[in-house]
């Protein structure tokens, strides 16, 4: 298969690669770049475990081809906070920890990045807004209770 | 209480790695030279496999091997074992057909493993899997419990007559019949406990990695109990000694029971890696999870409750058909028997109980433990029939429950179905729930709903469950083929920091935090000084893993036992240093002290002298400070509580909205309230999911209609309100922590509360019954039927 030359900004660094036209963004990230914080939880584009930010918007990386990120700024969960000793968490990550918004952690990267996009669009979302926004993110562990609290706190509002 | 000790809502230690994307789940692991496996699965529910032609697949790019059941049989690979032996009423052993990892000649459910294609890349393996040509000669199909027990039904297994795996009973039949003979009222109810698909968010994954140099085989797998997998796969399936087989279950993305069992794919990749001398990886796609992860529940029951005039329960009679699927899964025989029939006393003093369970094979995915495992089925049945009795007898449903509760002063209480409850206070959790849910104010809220054209209902359930299956010798008499203890090693390092190795496995429960809190509490050291290691058979001596809400009560108790040994040895070391006798040394807040004096030495100093034994009683004591312990519990633990659910139903659409959920639980002593609340939230969501949204549906030909998130309704954030949770503690009397277990209470207690609420809303409009899940369609049809409106039925036909 002929490949496509791809250049994007990935977690703040410019990256160039040759990708096959049918390579999904999630596979490019996990297998091509070793960024395994982005997860695959389904094959029907519903669970949201694969959510990343592309051009600032939350997208399901299982539902996008890698080549579609040409020229975009892509942020995965690994790029949200500096991964060094003593590195500070992004406020949304910190809120998830503070409010026990994760258990097994598998849905968490997608949840956090979805939430980052929500509060960018709607600072201080109310409970109903958060619950509605998370329609595309499934969590089997938490019953969403603490996720909603975390997102509200991470968005500057809520309890 | 110290800041990081028992009872503190310490923020979780494990969160950081998950939040920065550095969790390490099985599919995140890649081994050098790794190959990829894709399973060829049966597209039909029941067929003779006449021929398999792998020629084209073998010739496809990147393909290294295609194996079938015949290849595994040639290597004398064994069947996947069931770890519990159940006897039928007549004393005969359950029917236990061999369950080969790849089926050689007959497929028995959609998704059954027929062949494996192994290639250099996942894409190549997947493409080639489509080229394997299997000649399926279809056979008649059975799907439901009803299908299986019909006279003259076709057979899933030719040598299992009536498709009956076992026909088991518990309780005193004669005493129960006598109770019914003198009853003033008999209430009858048929209930179905809907089949569920567990759906942990991380799909299963397994990597077999054989190292020809050391002759060591490693299996990385999404498991709740790596040692159990090592034992089952090593001993029964592949014949690899424990010393040559390592099983690693790294971060695991949820289990809920579905990752307890030894699955075919684990054996397939391990065996293939040994054959090929290269690592072999398999990762489930979600559609495969739907058709290959063990399902849960699937009971059809008839229940009868005998009462006297005052509403006192005299007897309970239950007859259940339980679907075990096409094969017996690891705990498939234990769930509808010892985890179900034994719980039918509930919170009540019912003096006579008799239950019979016929377990049947069908052409469906094996059924096994799913969050609650047997206990939700028991609680649902009891709490539904108690509500039914309240309605029929015109007794208030709360009052009827209270009248029959096992009173606080009756503990320990021997039920008529084998269990002895150690402790509980059912009135206390009930009172708390009534208050927290504003039960009294419901009439007003219902009136307000009427004004909006809505039907409002409130439902209650008072449940008891059993965790930490035990003790091993009793379980053994009942058919368990494994021990039910847990192990721990506490290793104190020279500077006083501690590593704990536990046989429990955390896949969301937060053991790295709670177990560290136990250490922090007992040794008086900061939690930052403690590291908890789990999930690797090479590091941990042995373990039974995490299921049945056993980790804290059993695994935590093993840690306590090991800590006691550490303190005991530390006392002797301190006695030497402080020139006192060991009996005079007290240990508190991280210091060994000569009682009644200010002569003390810090825990870290004692640790140091154990490793640098210059001033040390070498004649009496070995250097070093490390202890291991196995803890075998004396009894089950019995969490209990009361759940209240309030719903509002739109009569025009049948949509049920959950407006309030109150959980009042007694889970014993709580180590970390934040984590405990989180466990309850998650269980409630799954329980409400069962009651309102989730159901596994097969069509008559055995095709799985709910095979993806497009048609299996997973609860979303907008389906729930915030949950109102709280607890009342009666400590467990027989383990050193007083802990009972919390992982499953939500999914056990809440489904009947939800359905009782739905019925509370619908009975006034003439609806007499409804089954789970109470979807909007089902509710709308029930309302139409009750109104004598043909609309619902017309659409149905
Ligand atoms: S993996 Fe499920 S939505 Fe992308
Ligand atoms: S934390 Fe496990 S799926 Fe959300």
Q: Inter-chain contact B12–A100, Cβ cutoff 8 Å?
A: yes
Residue A97 has pLDDT above 90, yes or no: yes
- Reading phi first (left if > 0) and then psi (alpha if -120 to 50, else beta), residue B528 is in alpha
How far does the CA of residue B640 sit from the closest CA of chain A (Å)? 20
Q: Residue B667 is encoded by which pair of tokens?
A: 């889970």
A25 assigned to some structural domain: yes
The residue among A80, A102, A120 that closes a domain is A80
Asked whether residue A46 falls in the same domain as residue A67, the answer is yes
Asked whether residue A66 falls in the same domain as residue A11, the answer is yes
Contact of B504 with B255, CB cutoff 8 Å: no
The CA-based angle B25-B243-B221, given to 5 degrees, is 15
Kindly give the number of the ligand 2 atom that is closest to the alpha carbon of A104: 2
- In this prediction, residue A85 carries a pLDDT of 75
Contact of B244 with B190, CB cutoff 8 Å: no
The residue among A80, A103, A124 that closes a domain is A80
User: Looking at chain A, which residue has its C-alpha nearest residue B711?
Assistant: A44
A150 assigned to some structural domain: yes
Phi, psi of A113 (to 5 degrees): -70, -35
Kindly give the number of the ligand 2 atom that is closest to the alpha carbon of A147: 4
User: Of the candidates A107, A109, A134, which has its C-beta nearest B21's C-beta?
Assistant: A109
Q: Inter-chain contact A106–B685, Cβ cutoff 8 Å?
A: no
Segment B166-206, tens digit of pLDDT: 999 999 999 999 999 999 999 999 999 999 999 999 999 99
Residue B795 has pLDDT above 70, yes or no: no
- In this prediction, residue B351 carries a pLDDT of 98
Asked whether residue A66 falls in the same domain as residue A102, the answer is no
Contact of B192 with B144, CB cutoff 8 Å: no
CATH of the domain at A121: 1.10.150.120
The reply to whether ligand 1 has any atom less than 6 angstroms from the CB of A35 is no
* List of residues 6+ apart from B201 with CB closer than 8 A: A39, A41, A47, A49, A104, A106, A107, A138, A139, A140, A141, B253, B254
Looking at the CA of A46, name the nearest ligand: 1
Q: Report how many domains make up chain A.
A: 2
- In this prediction, residue B151 carries a pLDDT of 93
Half-sphere exposure of A116 (CA within 13 A, CB side): 27
Q: What is the mean pLDDT of residues B452-480?
A: 91
CA of residue B508 to ligand 2 center, whole Å: 7
A110 assigned to some structural domain: yes
A14 assigned to some structural domain: yes
Q: Residue B633 is encoded by which pair of tokens?
A: 């519990």
Kindly give the number of the ligand 2 atom that is closest to the alpha carbon of A102: 1
A33 assigned to some structural domain: yes
With the most atoms of ligand 2 within 8 angstroms of its CB, the residue from A139, A145, A147, A148 to mutate is A139
Q: Inter-chain contact B681–A132, Cβ cutoff 8 Å?
A: no
CATH of the domain at A27: 3.10.20.30
Q: Whose C-alpha lies nearest to ligand 1, atom 3?
A: A45
Q: What is the mean pLDDT of residues A2-31?
A: 96
Q: Whose C-alpha lies nearest to ligand 2, atom 4?
A: A139
Asked whether residue A44 falls in the same domain as residue A99, the answer is no
- In this prediction, residue A156 carries a pLDDT of 73
Asked whether residue A67 falls in the same domain as residue A96, the answer is no
Q: Residue B778 is encoded by which pair of tokens?
A: 């089902």
Could you give the CA distance from residue B221 to residue B249 in angstroms, rounded to a whole number?
5
Kindly give the number of the ligand 2 atom that is closest to the alpha carbon of A140: 3
Looking at the CA of A47, name the nearest ligand: 1
Q: What is the mean pLDDT of residues B135-146?
A: 96
Q: Is B513 helix (H, G, I), strand (E, B) or coil?
A: helix
- In this prediction, residue A82 carries a pLDDT of 77
Q: What is the mean pLDDT of residues B345-363?
A: 98
CA of residue A95 to ligand 2 center, whole Å: 16
Asked whether residue A9 falls in the same domain as residue A75, the answer is yes
Residues of chain A positioned with their CB less than 8 A from the CB of B684? 143
Q: Containing domain of residue A141, as a range?
A: 91-154
Half-sphere exposure of A107 (CA within 13 A, CB side): 30
Asked whether residue A63 falls in the same domain as residue A103, the answer is no
User: Of the candidates B23, B27, B674, which has its C-beta nearest A100's C-beta?
Assistant: B674
Q: Residue B157 is encoded by which pair of tokens?
A: 């297994």
* List of residues 6+ apart from B240 with CB closer than 8 A: B217, B233, B234, B270
Residues of chain A positioned with their CB less than 8 A from the CB of B677? 100
Could you give the CA distance from residue B284 to residue B278 in angstroms, rounded to a whole number?
20
User: Looking at chain A, which residue has its C-alpha nearest residue B17?
Assistant: A105
Asked whether residue A107 falls in the same domain as residue A149, the answer is yes
Could you give the CA distance from residue B249 to residue B263 in angstroms, rounded to a whole number?
14
Q: What is the mean pLDDT of residues B524-552?
A: 92
CA of residue A117 to ligand 1 center, whole Å: 17
Order of all β-strands in the sheet with B47-53: B106-107, B47-53, B133-138
- In this prediction, residue B794 carries a pLDDT of 46
As a three-state string, the secondary structure of B265-298 is HHHHHHHHHHHHCCCEEEECCHHHHHHHCCEECC
Beta bridge partners of B725: B663
The secondary structure of residue B82, as a DSSP letter, is P
Of A110, A104, A159, A105, the residue nearest A134 (C-alpha): A110
Residue B1 has pLDDT above 80, yes or no: no
- In this prediction, residue B477 carries a pLDDT of 85
Could you give the CA distance from residue A146 to residue B677 in angstroms, rounded to a whole number?
10
Residues of chain A positioned with their CB less than 8 A from the CB of B22? 37, 78, 83
Residues of chain B positioned with their CB less than 8 A from the CB of A141? 201, 254, 508, 678, 682
Asked whether residue A60 falls in the same domain as residue A113, the answer is no
Domains defined along chain B, listed by start: 19-139+199-292 (3.90.1170.50), 299-469+635-796 (3.30.365.10), 485-631 (3.30.365.10)
A159 assigned to some structural domain: no
Q: Inter-chain contact A142–B678, Cβ cutoff 8 Å?
A: yes
Q: Inter-chain contact B23–A112, Cβ cutoff 8 Å?
A: no
A43 assigned to some structural domain: yes
The fraction of chain B above a pLDDT of 90, given in percent, is 93
- In this prediction, residue A159 carries a pLDDT of 39
Could you give the CA distance from residue B371 to residue B694 in angstroms, rounded to a whole number?
14
The fraction of chain B above a pLDDT of 70, given in percent, is 99
User: Looking at chain B, which residue has its C-alpha nearest residue A105?
Assistant: B18
Q: Inter-chain contact A78–B22, Cβ cutoff 8 Å?
A: yes
* List of residues 6+ apart from B518 with CB closer than 8 A: B6, B556, B559, B560, B563, B671, B737
Q: What is the mean pLDDT of residues B373-400?
A: 98
What is the average pLDDT score of chain B? 96
The reply to whether ligand 1 has any atom less than 6 angstroms from the CB of A135 is no
Contact of B709 with B286, CB cutoff 8 Å: yes
- In this prediction, residue B797 carries a pLDDT of 37
- In this prediction, residue B483 carries a pLDDT of 83
A63 touches B at CB < 8 Å: no
Q: What is the mean pLDDT of residues B20-43?
A: 98
How far does the CA of residue A109 sit from the closest CA of chain B (Å)? 7
Contact of A115 with A52, CB cutoff 8 Å: no
Residue A73 has pLDDT above 80, yes or no: yes
Contact of B484 with B470, CB cutoff 8 Å: yes
Could you give the CA distance from residue B425 to residue B503 in angstroms, rounded to a whole number?
32
Asked whether residue A127 falls in the same domain as residue A66, the answer is no
Q: Residue A62 is encoded by which pair of tokens?
A: 């299982």
Asked whether residue A101 falls in the same domain as residue A133, the answer is yes
Q: How confident is the model at residue A158 (pLDDT cuts 50, 70, 90)?
A: very low
Q: How confident is the model at residue B481 (pLDDT cuts 50, 70, 90)?
A: confident
Q: Whose C-alpha lies nearest to ligand 1, atom 1?
A: A40
Q: What is the mean pLDDT of residues B256-267?
A: 96
User: Looking at chain B, which residue has its C-alpha nearest residue A52?
Assistant: B21
Phi, psi of A88 (to 5 degrees): -85, 145
Count of beta carbons in the 10 Å neighbourhood of residue A14: 9
Q: What is the mean pLDDT of residues B298-321?
A: 98
Q: What is the mean pLDDT of residues B603-614?
A: 96
Q: How confident is the model at residue B450 (pLDDT cuts 50, 70, 90)?
A: very high
Interface A:B, Cβ pairs < 8 A? 178
Q: Is B179 helix (H, G, I), strand (E, B) or coil?
A: helix
Contact of B355 with B173, CB cutoff 8 Å: no
Kindly give the number of the ligand 1 atom that is closest to the alpha carbon of A46: 3
A86 assigned to some structural domain: no
Q: What is the mean pLDDT of residues B346-361?
A: 98
Segment B713-740, tens digit of pLDDT: 999 999 999 999 999 999 999 999 999 9
- Reading phi first (left if > 0) and then psi (alpha if -120 to 50, else beta), residue B440 is in alpha
**Among B377-381, B476-480, B651-655, the least confident range:** B476-480
Asked whether residue A14 falls in the same domain as residue A58, the answer is yes
Q: What is the mean pLDDT of residues A80-97?
A: 89
The residue among A60, A80, A100 that closes a domain is A80
A78 touches B at CB < 8 Å: yes
Residue B55 has pLDDT above 50, yes or no: yes
């Amino acid at each position: 298969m002929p490949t496509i030359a791809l250049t994007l900004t990935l977690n703040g660094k410019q990256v160039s690669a040759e990708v096959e036209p049918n390579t999904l963004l999630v596979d490019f990230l996990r297998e091509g770049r070793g960024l395994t914080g982005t997860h695959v939880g389904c094959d029907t584009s519903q669970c949201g475990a694969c959510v990343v930010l592309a051009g600032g918007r939350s997208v399901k990386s299982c539902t996008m081809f890698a080549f579609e990120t040409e020229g975009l700024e892509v942020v995965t969960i690994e790029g949200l906070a500096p991964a060094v000793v003593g590195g500070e968490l992004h406020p949304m990550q910190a809120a998830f920890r503070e409010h026990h918004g994760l258990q097994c952690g598998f849905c968490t990267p997608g949840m956090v990045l979805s939430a980052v996009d929500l509060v960018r669009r709607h600072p201080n979302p109310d409970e109903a807004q958060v619950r509605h926004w998370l329609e595309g993110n499934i969590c089997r562990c938490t019953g969403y209770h603490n996720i909603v609290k975390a997102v509200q706190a991470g968005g500057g509002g809520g309890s | 209480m110290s800041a990081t000790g028992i009872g503190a809502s310490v923020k979780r230690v494990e969160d950081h790695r998950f939040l920065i994307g550095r969790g390490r789940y099985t599919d995140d692991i890649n081994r050098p030279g790794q190959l990829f496996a894709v399973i060829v699965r049966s597209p039909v529910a029941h067929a003779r496999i006449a021929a398999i032609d792998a020629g084209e697949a073998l010739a496809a790019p990147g393909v290294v091997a295609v194996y079938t059941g015949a290849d595994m049989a040639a290597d004398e690979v064994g069947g996947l074992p069931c770890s519990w032996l159940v006897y039928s009423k007549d004393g005969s052993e359950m029917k236990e057909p061999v369950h080969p990892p790849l089926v050689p000649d007959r497929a028995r459910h959609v998704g059954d493993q027929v062949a494996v294609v192994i290639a250099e890349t996942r894409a190549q393996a997947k493409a080639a899997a489509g080229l394997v040509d299997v000649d399926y000669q279809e056979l008649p199909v059975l799907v439901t419990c009803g299908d299986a027990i019909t006279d003259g039904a076709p057979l899933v297994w030719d040598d299992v007559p009536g498709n009956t795996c076992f026909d088991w009973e518990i309780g005193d039949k004669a005493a129960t019949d006598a109770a019914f003979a003198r009853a003033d009222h008999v209430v009858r109810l048929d209930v179905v406990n809907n089949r569920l698909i567990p759906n942990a968010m991380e799909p299963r994954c397994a990597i077999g990695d054989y190292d020809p140099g050391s002759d060591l085989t490693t299996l990385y797998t999404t498991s709740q109990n790596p040692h159990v997998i090592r034992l089952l796969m090593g001993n029964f399936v592949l014949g690899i000694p424990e010393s040559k087989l390592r099983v690693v279950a790294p971060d695991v993305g949820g289990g809920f029971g579905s990752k307890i069992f030894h699955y075919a794919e684990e054996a397939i990749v391990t065996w293939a890696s040994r054959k090929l001398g290269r690592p072999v990886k398999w990762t489930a796609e979600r559609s495969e999870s739907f058709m290959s992860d063990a399902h849960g529940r699937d009971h059809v029951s008839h229940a009868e409750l005998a009462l006297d005039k005052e509403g006192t329960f005299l007897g309970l009679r239950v007859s259940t058909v339980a679907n075990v699927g096409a094969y017996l899964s690891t705990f498939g025989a234990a769930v509808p028997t010892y985890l179900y029939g034994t719980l039918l006393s509930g919170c009540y003093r019912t003096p006579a109980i008799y239950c019979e369970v016929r377990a049947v094979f069908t052409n469906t995915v094996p059924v096994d433990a799913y969050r609650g495992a047997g206990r939700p089925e028991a609680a649902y049945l009891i709490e539904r029939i108690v509500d039914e009795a309240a309605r029929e007898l015109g007794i208030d449903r709360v009052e009827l429950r209270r009248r029959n509760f096992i009173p606080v002063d009756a503990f320990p209480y021997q039920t008529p179905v084998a269990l002895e409850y150690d402790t509980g206070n059912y009135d206390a959790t009930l009172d708390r729930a009534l208050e927290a849910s504003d039960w009294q104010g419901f009439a007003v809220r219902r009136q307000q709903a009427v004004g909006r054209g809505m039907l409002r209902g409130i439902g209650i359930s008072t449940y008891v469950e059993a965790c930490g299956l035990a003790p091993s010798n009793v379980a053994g008499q009942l058919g368990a083929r494994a021990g039910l203890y847990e192990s721990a090693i506490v290793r104190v390092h020279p500077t006083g920091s501690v590593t704990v190795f536990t046989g429990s496995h955390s896949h969301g429960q937060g053991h790295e935090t709670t177990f560290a809190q136990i250490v922090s509490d007992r040794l008086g050291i900061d939690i930052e000084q403690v590291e908890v290691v789990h999930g690797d058979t090479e590091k941990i001596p042995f373990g039974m893993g995490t299921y049945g809400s056993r980790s804290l009560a059993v695994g935590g108790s093993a840690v306590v036992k090991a800590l006691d040994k550490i303190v005991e040895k530390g006392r002797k070391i301190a006695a030497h240093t402080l020139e006192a006798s060991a009996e005079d040394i007290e240990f508190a807040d991280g210091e060994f002290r000569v009682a009644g004096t200010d002569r003390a030495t810090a825990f870290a100093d004692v640790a140091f002298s154990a490793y640098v034994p210059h001033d040390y009683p070498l004649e009496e004591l070995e250097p070093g400070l490390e202890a291991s312990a196995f803890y075998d519990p004396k009894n089950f633990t019995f969490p209990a509580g009361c759940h209240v659910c309030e719903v509002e139903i739109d009569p025009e659409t049948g949509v049920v909205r959950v407006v309030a959920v109150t959980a009042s639980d007694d889970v014993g002593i709580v180590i970390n309230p934040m984590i405990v609340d989180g466990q309850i939230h998650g269980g409630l969501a799954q329980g409400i999911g069962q009651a309102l949204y989730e159901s596994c549906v097969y069509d008559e030909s055995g095709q799985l209609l709910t095979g993806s998130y497009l048609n299996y309704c997973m609860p979303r954030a907008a389906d729930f309100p915030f949950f109102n949770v709280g607890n009342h503690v009666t400590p467990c009397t027989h383990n050193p922590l007083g802990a009972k277990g919390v992982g499953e209470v939500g999914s056990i207690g809440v489904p009947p509360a939800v359905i009782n609420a739905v019925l509370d809303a619908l009975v006034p409009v003439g609806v007499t019954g409804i089954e789970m899940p109470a979807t909007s369609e089902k509710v709308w049809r029930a309302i139409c039927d009750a109104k004598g409106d043909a609309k619902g039925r017309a659409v149905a036909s």
